[in-house]
Amino acid sequence: MLRQRIITAVILAPLALIAVLFLPIFEFQVVIGGVVAIGAYEWAKMSGLDSRTYKLVYTLITLTICIFFAQYVDENLIWYQGQLNAVYRYILGLSVIWWLFSLALIIAYPRWSAFWKHSVWIRALFGLFTLIPTWIAVVSLRTSLYEIDPFYGASLIFYVLGIVWAADIGAFFVGVKFGKHKLRPNVSPGKTLEGLMGGVTASVAIIAFAALHYQVDPSRIWLHIVIGGLTVGVSALGDLNESMFKRCAGMKDSGKILPGHGGVMDRIDSLTAAFPIFAYCYVTWMA
């Protein structure tokens, strides 16, 4: 299993690096749409759509929405005069509401969950609320200040990836060593409060380095720390969100497409929350 995980990571990491750094914007949007579409296929099964036809239709709907936005909003107008396109900003705002609602679902689970737990279509709709804003967020960050520095947006994406992955690593080791208080045992028995705090602490180094790298005004450093910490905290919510829907579907992994890693959703679950929330904060207070 470990050998499979290492081989998969060694293959995927350079591909992801190339896509973020060197793909033209439209092609980048299509590639991210493809990743989201694979996640949608897995989410369809988590929703209870067992028929291959239904899963393919759900995947096509998700991909079509992404391609529609890529065509509807010209890549040169995603940002205009320092402001994000109003439609994209509106969707990021709605994603904040969705993740607050998701938090309520997780806290209430399994009580008061009958209205969605036994509805395939509501769970499928929740998947769109999770996946589409992720695409919007990644594209919005990648295109930020693109005309001034083509790699600036890429650095924002790597920043979010860095603090989330650092948090995952810190949470794992601290949770294994000191974890006693379960976050939500009914949703994900392995997640602990100590692990979450360890993850946030592990990400502080990257947050501090980024503040120095971007030469943040000293008076705004606390804002960056708060937003970075919030992004890391919300990433745990994304993980719990996917775990809740997998538990409803009786699934251990979201899929088998990544040898040793499970499915795509198992790899991006925390990012589906982290990217939209960070992007909203970035657009609102940091851009």
User: What are 254-278's pLDDT values in tens digits?
Assistant: 888 876 667 899 989 999 999 999 9
One-character DSSP codes across 123-190: HHHHHHHHHHHHHHHHHHHHTTTTTT-TTHHHHHHHHHHHHHHHHHHHHHHHHHHH--SEEETTTEEE
Identify whether the C-beta of residue 59 lies closer than 8 Å to the C-beta of residue 41. Answer: yes
Report d(CA 138, CA 275) in Å as an integer: 7
For residue 235, give the H/E element and its range: helix 221-249
Instruction: Say which amino acid occupies 118.
Output: H
Position 206 scores a pLDDT of 82
From first to last of its 287 residues, the chain has per-residue pLDDT tens of 446 655 666 677 788 899 999 999 999 999 999 999 999 999 999 999 989 999 999 999 999 999 999 999 999 999 999 999 999 999 999 999 999 999 999 999 988 888 898 899 999 999 999 999 999 999 999 999 999 999 999 999 999 999 998 888 888 788 777 777 777 777 777 778 888 888 888 888 788 877 777 777 877 888 888 999 899 989 989 999 999 999 888 888 888 887 666 789 998 999 999 999 999 999 999 86
Position 6 scores a pLDDT of 58
Does pTM top 0.85 for this prediction?
yes
Position 261 scores a pLDDT of 66
